[in-house]
Structure 1
Amino acid sequence: MVLIGVKGMAWFMTGSLSVMASLVDSLMDAAASLINLLAVRYSLKRADQDHQFGHGKAESLAGLGQACFIAGSAIFLLMHAVERLNHPQPLQAINVGLWVMVFAIGATLVLLAFQGYVIKRTNSSAIRADALHYKTDLLTNIATICALFFVASGWPLLDPLGALAIACYILYSAWQIGLEAMQVLMDRELPEETRQRICDIVLAHGTVLGIHDLRTRQSGQTMHIQLHLDLDQGLPLAEAHRVADEVEYAIMASFPQADVIIHQDPRNPARYRRNPLECQELPKIPPG
């Protein structure tokens, strides 16, 4: 709210369209952050009878809504930038606008540092989307400073042109946030390095022969992991269950927010050959 008030004052004093672009961006930030707050709180609700996998995808829905907010603000800026190009207006108190933008950059850097800490602790997709938007704020603020500087140097058309550039970048940011939210909603697999790490953890257990049918997805802060363990068919049921539990605990030690489901498949060790591409689909070998 402090940034919105300061930028609003700067826009009123300067009349700069680039400053207005930054102001609109901050207004969208505030609306999107409010949506994220509500979404994150809802996503943390315990699983219930109607939502037995939890409410984590509320974060991705918030990210999709945030992308729409951002795209709307960009279109608004594009319209005003085109109008200003057709009807140029002189700017005033440019120094005030420059100092306000420098202040905005400093405040944004502090906020991004805090969000980075939260993302490492929670892996929240909603906060990650919010942080991506604030990263674009840094570029828009820098672009605004450049536009004001050139206007002060006698290039007035660079103010609406700077607003056009900012609007295009905001649209690109909206596309990135919306695409990431859609991928989560469509249950995209986790990154390959994460899948490989899961495989390494599983295969580090001395009793496990191999792994196949690894399936992963992210839902809010919860990582869903499903896999099949290849075990010696001669193991007693209780022993096989103990091995599966140990593998599950090992995975959850590295991924505390994971929901792990393991199926055990009996294999003949004398006939079993492990696929060297551990995380890829392994051929199913009939027991016996």
Structure 2
Amino acid sequence: MAEGAARLSLVVALLVLGLKTLAYGLTGSVALLSDALESLVNVAAALAALLALRVARKPPDQNHPFGHTKAEYFSAVLEGVLVVVAALLIAKEALPRLLHPVPLEGLGPGLGVSLLATLLNGLLAYHLLEEGRRHRSPALIADGHHVLSDVLTSTGVLLGVGLSGLTGLWVLDPLLALLVAGNILLIGFRLVRHSVGGLMDEGLPPEEVEQIRAFLQERIRGRALEVHDLKTRRAGPRTFLEFHLVVPGKTPVAEAHRLCDELERALAEAFPGLVITIHVEPESERKRV
């Protein structure tokens, strides 16, 4: 269940935040602090995803006849904004250290605690991405990609901080923090871009639209004349599809209706998550494209 994955994400995010904060407290490393700040964003994002999923699962009502699935995009937008804020906070902490490097202490225990947190995050990222794809949930997929980026940056931070301890090049610590900030800033912009596209009724990629078109052409062969004006739009785990189906002018209404029902069932089976609207037209409306 998508909501169960979101609850797990929140619990693990809180645990990882505690571990990374402990790692920073043991070492005083600004790079590990940057890692902890990103985990703070994970907690807020996991909470937002959980709330959004609860709203999104509500059935259609009088005020929302198409459902509430777009609520998930608000969660993903919020997560992107929080990531950007975290990047700015990291840069604020790292820049003074870049000019005045500070030796680090307690690296052994601190890096061990941080490694444990990174392993937990890795398992969580895998679980969120799997559940997000299974439930076609933008909120879970965004959360999973964010956690995965946290794993990658944490790994880099661990290696870099360890190297600075071995070499005594303490300036590596703030440099790593700034690299982490730049990386999560990029991730934040990507998250916002994807989610805004969903809120603006962005359609499926052209290659997916062509797959649907080819599927329909194969299914209507010998029974209808053409499909045109095919449009799609995303809404969380659902994708709304509409198109015009041109049938021979003497086709009985009952036969045209039966063909529409068959197409809807076939499309729903081949492309899960589709909500389909078909407009039947007579032969005179044929575009011959």
Work out whether the TM-score is over 0.5: yes
CA contact (8 A) 1:202 1:208 kept: no
1:197 matches 2:211: yes
1:178 corresponds in structure 2 to 192
- Deviations 1:120-148 (CA, angstroms, capped at 9, x unpaired): 21111111111121121122112211221
The aligned counterpart of 2:61 is 48
In structure 2, the residue matched to 1:75 is 88
Give the structure 1 partner of residue 158 of structure 2.
Answer: 145
Matched with 2:175 is 161
1:90 to 2:90 alignment: no
**Alignment correspondent of 2:276:** 260
Q: Hey, what's the Cα distance between the residues in 2 that align with 1:253 and 1:200?
A: 15
CA distance in 2, matches of 1:247, 1:227: 11
Please report how far the alpha carbon of residue 150 of structure 1 lies from its aligned counterpart in structure 2 after TM superposition: 2.2
Which one-letter code corresponds to 2:19 in the other structure?
A: V
SS of alignment partner, residue 155 of structure 1: coil
C-alpha offsets along residues 177-232 of structure 1, whole Å, 9 cap, x if unaligned? 00001111111111223212211221222313221111101111111001111211
> What SS does the corresponding residue of 1:46 show, helix, strand or coil?
coil
Which of 238, 241, 245 aligns to 1:225? It is 241
Instruction: Extract unaligned runs of 5+ from structure 1.
Output: 276-288
Q: Distance in 2 between matches of 1:121 and 1:146?
A: 34
Preserved CA contact (<8 Å) 2:121 2:151: yes
| 1:58 matches 2:71 | yes
Q: CA deviation at 1:46?
A: 0.6
The one-letter code matched in structure 2 to 1:159 is D
Q: What's the CA shift for 1:272?
A: 6.4
Structure 1 position 98, deviation (Å): 2.4
TM-score, normalising length from structure 2? 0.90
| Contact preservation (8 Å) 1:232, 1:267 | yes
Q: Unpaired runs of 5+ in structure 2?
A: 1-13
Q: How many correspondences in the alignment?
A: 273
Shift of 1:66: 1.0
> Structure 1 CA distance, aligned partners of 2:279 and 2:111?
61
CA contact (8 A) 2:73 2:139 kept: yes
Secondary structure class of the residue paired with 1:216:
strand
RMSD (Å) for aligned C-alpha atoms: 1.6
Query: For residues 222 and 136 of structure 1, what CA distance do their matches in structure 2 show?
Result: 26
Once the two structures are TM-superposed, the CA of residue 113 in structure 1 deviates from its matched residue by 1.7
- Is residue 53 of structure 2 the alignment partner of residue 37 of structure 1? no
User: Tell me, what secondary structure is at the counterpart of 1:88?
Assistant: coil
Q: CA deviation at 1:88?
A: 2.3
Query: Which stretch of the first structure deviates more once superposed, 231-240 or 191-200?
Result: 191-200
More helix by share: 2
**Take 2:286 and 2:16, find their aligned partners in 1: how far apart are those partners?**
63
User: Which residue of structure 2 lines up, in the alignment, with residue 121 of structure 1?
Assistant: 134
Give the secondary-structure state (helix, strand or coil) at the position aligned to 2:241.
Answer: strand
Q: Distance in 2 between matches of 1:142 and 1:113?
A: 16
Provide the C-alpha distance between the structure 2 equivalents of 1:90 and 1:64, rounded to a whole number of angstroms: 38
